[in-house]
């Protein structure tokens, strides 16, 4: 145990398996934000909190089958992702993404000009529309990697594939998204300069 904090994931999992509900509550608090982000990008903002909560409940029930020594976060996020997909399918509709595609870029903390704010909002709307038009696997890999902020290994765990598959899917998905945006003229500013 030396050098390892008392509340690392493995310790909390062991304590939870022994009936310590407070230990599981610590795991929930630790991973709640990322679980909600994953649910948000896969099933939409209206269902995200409920889906994440249901994912935590299912993880609690599945904890006896959790493989000792495995990382908890990717395992949990895969459960949340599966719940999000089931929720989306059950609702019979595609998720509408309500995420920002770009960070607002201001200079020195100054507010953007009204013209710049309008252009940024319009670009964001066009990027999200193009993203929603992509096939589900493309939306999922882009959303997990960029909107939920997951690394390649975590994206692979959430999507149930290998890291190399994530890299290739991401490359192809970005190319398809860029082609849609180029066709719509989204990535060009009014002056004709590229904003990539």
The string of pLDDT tens digits covering residues 71-122 is 999 999 999 999 998 887 765 444 344 343 333 333 445 566 666 666 667 7
Report the alpha-carbon distance of residue 32 to residue 52 in Å, rounded: 7
- The pTM of the whole model exceeds 0.85: no
Check residue 114 and give its pLDDT.
66
Give all domains of the chain, ordered by start, each with its CATH number.
9-91 (1.10.1740.10), 114-184 (1.10.10.10)
Report the alpha-carbon distance of residue 96 to residue 140 in Å, rounded: 12
- Count CB-CB contacts under 10 A for residue 57: 13
Beta bridge partners of 194: 188
Residue 196 in 3-state DSSP? coil
The string of pLDDT tens digits covering residues 2-34 is 444 557 999 999 999 999 999 999 999 999 999
């Amino acid at each position: 145990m030396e050098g390892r904090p008392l509340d690392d994931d493995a310790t909390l999992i062991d304590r939870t398996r022994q009936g310590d509900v407070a230990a599981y509550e610590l795991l929930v608090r630790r991973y709640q934000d990322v679980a909600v982000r994953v649910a948000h990008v896969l099933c939409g903002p209206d269902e995200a909190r409920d889906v994440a909560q249901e994912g935590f409940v299912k993880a609690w029930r599945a904890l006896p089958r959790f493989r000792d020594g495995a990382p908890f976060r990717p395992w949990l996020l895969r459960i949340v992702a599966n719940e999000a997909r089931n929720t989306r399918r059950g609702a019979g509709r595609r998720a509408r993404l309500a995420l920002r595609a770009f960070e607002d870029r201001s200079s020195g903390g100054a507010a953007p000009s009204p013209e710049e704010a309008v252009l940024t909002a319009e670009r964001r709307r066009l990027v999200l529309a193009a993203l929603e038009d992509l096939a589900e696997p493309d939306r999922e890999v882009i959303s997990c990697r960029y909107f939920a902020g997951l690394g390649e290994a975590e994206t692979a765990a959430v999507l149930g594939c290998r890291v190399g598959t994530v890299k290739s899917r991401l490359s192809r998905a970005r190319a398809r998204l860029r082609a849609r945006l180029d066709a719509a003229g989204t990535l060009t500013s009014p002056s004709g300069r590229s904003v990539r």
